[in-house]
Amino acid sequence: MRCPQCSTTDDRVVDSRTVDDGTSIRRRRECLGCARRFTTYERLEEVPFGVVKRSGRKELFDRSKVVAGVRSAAKNRPVSEAAMQALAGEVDEAVRLEGSEVTTSQVGMAVLERLRALDPVASVRFASVYKGFSGLDDFRREVGQLSEVSRPGEVGGLGAVGELTKETAPK
Protein backbone atom coordinates (compact mmCIF):
# COMPACT_ATOMS: atom_id res chain seq x y z
CA MET A 1 0.00 0.00 0.00
CA ARG A 2 1.45 3.36 -1.04
CA CYS A 3 2.17 5.70 1.85
CA PRO A 4 -0.05 8.81 1.71
CA GLN A 5 2.88 10.92 2.91
CA CYS A 6 6.03 9.75 1.12
CA SER A 7 4.69 7.30 -1.51
CA THR A 8 6.86 4.44 -0.30
CA THR A 9 5.08 1.16 -1.09
CA ASP A 10 6.62 -0.82 1.75
CA ASP A 11 4.82 -0.95 5.06
CA ARG A 12 4.26 -3.27 7.96
CA VAL A 13 0.94 -4.12 9.58
CA VAL A 14 1.00 -3.05 13.22
CA ASP A 15 -2.56 -4.01 14.08
CA SER A 16 -5.28 -6.07 12.40
CA ARG A 17 -8.84 -6.54 13.60
CA THR A 18 -12.22 -7.49 12.22
CA VAL A 19 -14.85 -4.75 12.26
CA ASP A 20 -18.43 -4.21 11.07
CA ASP A 21 -19.66 -7.52 12.52
CA GLY A 22 -16.81 -9.43 10.94
CA THR A 23 -17.56 -8.27 7.39
CA SER A 24 -14.36 -6.30 7.08
CA ILE A 25 -10.82 -6.22 8.41
CA ARG A 26 -9.19 -3.02 9.54
CA ARG A 27 -5.39 -2.87 9.30
CA ARG A 28 -3.22 -0.28 10.91
CA ARG A 29 -0.03 0.06 8.85
CA GLU A 30 3.26 1.80 9.37
CA CYS A 31 5.26 3.13 6.43
CA LEU A 32 8.79 1.70 6.31
CA GLY A 33 10.02 4.91 4.67
CA CYS A 34 8.74 7.64 7.01
CA ALA A 35 7.04 5.73 9.84
CA ARG A 36 3.71 7.43 9.13
CA ARG A 37 0.78 5.30 10.28
CA PHE A 38 -2.33 4.84 8.17
CA THR A 39 -5.36 2.55 8.04
CA THR A 40 -6.69 0.24 5.33
CA TYR A 41 -9.90 -1.77 5.16
CA GLU A 42 -10.41 -5.08 3.51
CA ARG A 43 -13.93 -6.09 2.46
CA LEU A 44 -15.50 -8.95 0.59
CA GLU A 45 -16.17 -8.08 -3.02
CA GLU A 46 -19.92 -8.50 -3.49
CA VAL A 47 -20.46 -9.05 -7.18
CA PRO A 48 -24.15 -8.79 -8.10
CA PHE A 49 -25.24 -12.03 -9.64
CA GLY A 50 -28.44 -12.59 -11.61
CA VAL A 51 -30.89 -15.46 -11.39
CA VAL A 52 -33.51 -15.92 -14.13
CA LYS A 53 -36.80 -17.18 -12.75
CA ARG A 54 -39.22 -19.49 -14.57
CA SER A 55 -41.36 -16.50 -15.41
CA GLY A 56 -38.35 -14.96 -17.19
CA ARG A 57 -38.03 -12.30 -14.54
CA LYS A 58 -34.52 -11.68 -13.21
CA GLU A 59 -33.53 -11.06 -9.66
CA LEU A 60 -30.25 -10.93 -7.77
CA PHE A 61 -28.99 -14.16 -6.31
CA ASP A 62 -29.82 -14.20 -2.61
CA ARG A 63 -28.00 -16.75 -0.50
CA SER A 64 -30.52 -16.36 2.32
CA LYS A 65 -33.27 -17.65 -0.01
CA VAL A 66 -31.26 -20.82 -0.55
CA VAL A 67 -30.93 -21.23 3.21
CA ALA A 68 -34.68 -20.62 3.64
CA GLY A 69 -35.51 -23.26 1.00
CA VAL A 70 -33.19 -25.80 2.58
CA ARG A 71 -34.46 -24.99 6.08
CA SER A 72 -38.02 -25.60 5.04
CA ALA A 73 -37.11 -28.90 3.32
CA ALA A 74 -35.04 -30.01 6.31
CA LYS A 75 -37.73 -29.26 8.90
CA ASN A 76 -37.54 -31.83 11.73
CA ARG A 77 -34.55 -33.44 10.03
CA PRO A 78 -31.11 -33.70 11.63
CA VAL A 79 -29.54 -30.94 9.52
CA SER A 80 -27.75 -28.25 11.49
CA GLU A 81 -27.98 -24.53 10.80
CA ALA A 82 -24.22 -24.52 10.17
CA ALA A 83 -24.58 -27.28 7.57
CA MET A 84 -27.34 -25.32 5.81
CA GLN A 85 -25.22 -22.17 5.77
CA ALA A 86 -22.25 -24.12 4.45
CA LEU A 87 -24.41 -25.70 1.74
CA ALA A 88 -25.71 -22.29 0.67
CA GLY A 89 -22.13 -21.01 0.53
CA GLU A 90 -21.08 -23.90 -1.71
CA VAL A 91 -24.08 -23.33 -3.97
CA ASP A 92 -23.22 -19.64 -4.16
CA GLU A 93 -19.67 -20.49 -5.28
CA ALA A 94 -20.79 -23.21 -7.69
CA VAL A 95 -23.46 -21.25 -9.54
CA ARG A 96 -21.17 -18.23 -9.99
CA LEU A 97 -18.87 -20.48 -12.00
CA GLU A 98 -21.70 -21.21 -14.45
CA GLY A 99 -21.69 -17.70 -15.88
CA SER A 100 -22.88 -14.18 -15.15
CA GLU A 101 -26.42 -15.40 -14.60
CA VAL A 102 -28.12 -18.73 -14.03
CA THR A 103 -31.68 -20.04 -13.95
CA THR A 104 -33.56 -20.90 -10.78
CA SER A 105 -33.48 -24.55 -11.84
CA GLN A 106 -29.66 -24.48 -12.03
CA VAL A 107 -29.63 -23.11 -8.50
CA GLY A 108 -32.16 -25.76 -7.45
CA MET A 109 -30.07 -28.57 -8.95
CA ALA A 110 -26.93 -27.28 -7.22
CA VAL A 111 -28.81 -27.33 -3.91
CA LEU A 112 -30.29 -30.75 -4.59
CA GLU A 113 -26.94 -32.39 -5.38
CA ARG A 114 -25.56 -31.26 -2.05
CA LEU A 115 -28.68 -31.80 0.01
CA ARG A 116 -28.88 -35.40 -1.23
CA ALA A 117 -25.54 -36.14 0.43
CA LEU A 118 -26.55 -34.26 3.57
CA ASP A 119 -30.04 -35.65 4.16
CA PRO A 120 -31.90 -37.81 1.62
CA VAL A 121 -35.35 -37.08 3.02
CA ALA A 122 -34.82 -33.34 2.95
CA SER A 123 -33.55 -33.60 -0.62
CA VAL A 124 -36.72 -35.36 -1.78
CA ARG A 125 -38.84 -32.70 -0.08
CA PHE A 126 -36.72 -30.00 -1.66
CA ALA A 127 -36.96 -31.61 -5.09
CA SER A 128 -40.73 -31.88 -4.90
CA VAL A 129 -40.94 -28.12 -4.45
CA TYR A 130 -38.11 -26.84 -6.61
CA LYS A 131 -38.17 -29.16 -9.58
CA GLY A 132 -41.92 -28.85 -9.90
CA PHE A 133 -42.61 -32.56 -10.25
CA SER A 134 -45.04 -33.23 -13.04
CA GLY A 135 -46.02 -36.60 -11.71
CA LEU A 136 -45.27 -39.68 -9.73
CA ASP A 137 -42.65 -40.90 -12.21
CA ASP A 138 -40.49 -37.91 -11.42
CA PHE A 139 -40.85 -38.65 -7.74
CA ARG A 140 -39.88 -42.29 -8.22
CA ARG A 141 -36.88 -41.28 -10.31
CA GLU A 142 -35.76 -38.94 -7.56
CA VAL A 143 -36.13 -41.64 -4.92
CA GLY A 144 -34.25 -44.00 -7.27
CA GLN A 145 -31.33 -41.57 -7.51
CA LEU A 146 -31.44 -41.34 -3.76
CA SER A 147 -30.86 -45.05 -3.22
CA GLU A 148 -27.62 -44.78 -5.20
CA VAL A 149 -26.10 -42.39 -2.71
CA SER A 150 -27.60 -43.72 0.53
CA ARG A 151 -25.51 -46.19 2.43
CA PRO A 152 -27.32 -49.12 4.03
CA GLY A 153 -27.96 -48.79 7.74
CA GLU A 154 -27.44 -45.07 7.68
CA VAL A 155 -29.62 -43.20 10.14
CA GLY A 156 -32.31 -41.27 8.32
CA GLY A 157 -31.46 -43.08 5.12
CA LEU A 158 -33.68 -45.34 3.08
CA GLY A 159 -35.90 -46.42 5.95
CA ALA A 160 -37.08 -42.89 6.43
CA VAL A 161 -37.44 -42.40 2.69
CA GLY A 162 -39.66 -45.48 2.61
CA GLU A 163 -41.95 -43.83 5.14
CA LEU A 164 -41.95 -40.64 3.14
CA THR A 165 -42.77 -42.53 -0.04
CA LYS A 166 -45.74 -44.26 1.61
CA GLU A 167 -47.06 -41.01 2.91
CA THR A 168 -46.42 -38.84 -0.16
CA ALA A 169 -46.98 -41.28 -2.98
CA PRO A 170 -49.70 -43.78 -2.10
CA LYS A 171 -50.14 -46.70 -4.52
Instruction: Give yes or no for residue 1 binding Zn ion (CB under 5 A).
Output: no
Instruction: Give yes or no for residue 33 binding Zn ion (CB under 5 A).
Output: yes
Instruction: Give yes or no for residue 159 binding Zn ion (CB under 5 A).
Output: no
Among 29, 31, 69, 142, binds Zn ion (CB under 5 A): 31
How far apart, in whole angstroms, are the C-alpha atoms of residue 37 and residue 12? 10
- Measured from the CB of residue 3, what is the shortest distance to Zn ion in angstroms? 3
Nearest to 84 by CA among 114, 127, 49: 114
Instruction: Give yes or no for residue 9 binding Zn ion (CB under 5 A).
Output: no
Per CB under 5 A, which region of 30-38, 48-56, 82-90, 134-142 contacts Zn ion? 30-38
Per CB under 5 A, which region of 32-40, 54-62, 80-88, 97-105 contacts Zn ion? 32-40
Judging by DSSP bridges, how do beta strands 58-60 and 50-52 pair with one another?
antiparallel
Alpha carbon distance, N-terminus to C-terminus of the chain: 69
Among 14, 34, 149, 169, binds Zn ion (CB under 5 A): 34
How far apart, in whole angstroms, are the C-alpha atoms of residue 2 and residue 31? 8
Instruction: Give yes or no for residue 6 binding Zn ion (CB under 5 A).
Output: yes
Residues 6+ apart with CB under 8 A from 52: 58, 101, 102, 103, 104
Give the footprint of Zn ion on this chain (CB under 5 A): 3, 5-6, 8, 31, 33-34, 36
